[in-house]
A and B are shown apart, each in its own frame.
Chain A
């Protein structure tokens, strides 16, 4: 991952837009950039500039290949509401492949997460305040807040719309100096709750790093991280 460039301010927006269009922002970095682009018209313009200007390179570097007739049939079936699809299986496949569906599911999930976040404080008796908190940052961008209660349970909330790469999970680690990282659970794109006991008491200390890596579903089989940290932050005690 690109820790080395993320200290300080990072590359200027035009260059980040260029990296995005080149396809160099992956996973979290890409999701985060796309969220930023949706809010920032100047960044969207920078992306459009690169998309348009780099097109000749894409065209020059690839041959033209005649697609099989089945390719058009599949597209035609998907856009033609009048014509029943050949089979239930095909219809399901088309629905499954339908990016709009996934965007809708994603949007609903975000809306649901927001509702949870916004409504919870009002209709619940005040939860005990956290004893320790951490802000999980990628570079200098905060992505999640971690609140740790006295009893060891934890709650992790996203600050924006981020998700692990398709087919992968985020695994959470507690990292103390000189000790092997300890797996403490999985981070969900929405709200994550870790029951008391998931984080060993010896690691519920200020300065212990809460870190996230991208792993295969089920987590790292060895119990040790197999990938670099994508984002992290140290625990700090809350002055009570």
Chain B
């Protein structure tokens, strides 16, 4: 354990929220069992350049694609180069989702092993190399969230969500499209994608009925898709 890596200014409080919407068939099931989990925020080692824009540009993504194809040929130096370019950002994403440094590091390790094994399956037609790697990292982090039940019993928004920029690069189509959504829809999508909260956790955090959250997100996705394809 690296206790020194943590400060935990926020401790998520135990509370017995009443779900306003029914959960399955158990009329009496008043939400999920809860446990208080400390929310840890890591300052140590954070590089505050908010965007690693060098891996977002198409030219740089071409470099990542090249490294991936070398990884497919079992070139370990290529994996190391890929790691040097992307691991800091992937660790940041994992930490934001998991809020636990050792778990975030584990997940980055799992992700790189999967990237190494599957590099040959990366298909440029499906999108950017960085997007493919971020997706792999996120599914491993989601596995961890599910197995640790990390996100139970929160009743306040983590301040980290307010401190770090959630707006996307100005020039990205996603930023423009997100900006067209009503604020509560944007926020729900962010809480899911960026912070790894489930529908019911978002409902609880925002004190909004579960059905409303589900519908906001679905409608938000439908609008985003139309906007991104326009």
Contact = CB atoms under 8 A, between A and B. Distances in A.
The judgment on whether A and B are partners is yes
30 contacts: A2-B199, A4-B21, A14-B222, A18-B217, A18-B225, A22-B221, A51-B131, A51-B132, A51-B135, A53-B224, A55-B128, A55-B130, A56-B56, A57-B178, A57-B194, A59-B56, A61-B166, A61-B190, A62-B89, A62-B96, A63-B164, A64-B46, A71-B91, A72-B87, A74-B109, A75-B83, A75-B113, A166-B143, A167-B147, A228-B23
B113 to A, nearest CB: 6
A59 B53 CA distance: 9
B194 A62 contact: yes
Contact of B47 (A66, A209, A228): A66
A157 to B, nearest CB: 23
Contacts of A99: 110, 113-114, 140
Interface in A217-237: 225-230, 232
B87 A211 contact: no
Given A23-B138, A23-B193, A66 B88 contact: yes
Interface string A1-33: 111110000011011001101111011001000
A56 B172 CA distance: 7
B95 interface: yes
A79 B29 contact: no
Interface residues of A, number: 66
Interface of A: 1-5, 11-12, 14-15, 18-19, 21-24, 26-27, 30, 45, 48-68, 71-72, 74-76, 78-80, 97-100, 165-167, 175, 181, 209, 211, 225-230, 232
Interface in B45-65: 45-52, 55-56
Nearest to A14: B225
Interface residues of B, number: 86
B117 A100 contact: yes
B131 A67 contact: no
B211 A4 contact: yes
A79 to B, nearest CB: 5
Given A26-B146, A62-B164, A15 B218 contact: yes
Contacts of A209: 25
Nearest to A175: B25
Given A14-B222, A65-B45, 6 more contacts: A1-B24, A18-B224, A23-B145, A62-B96, A71-B108, A225-B26
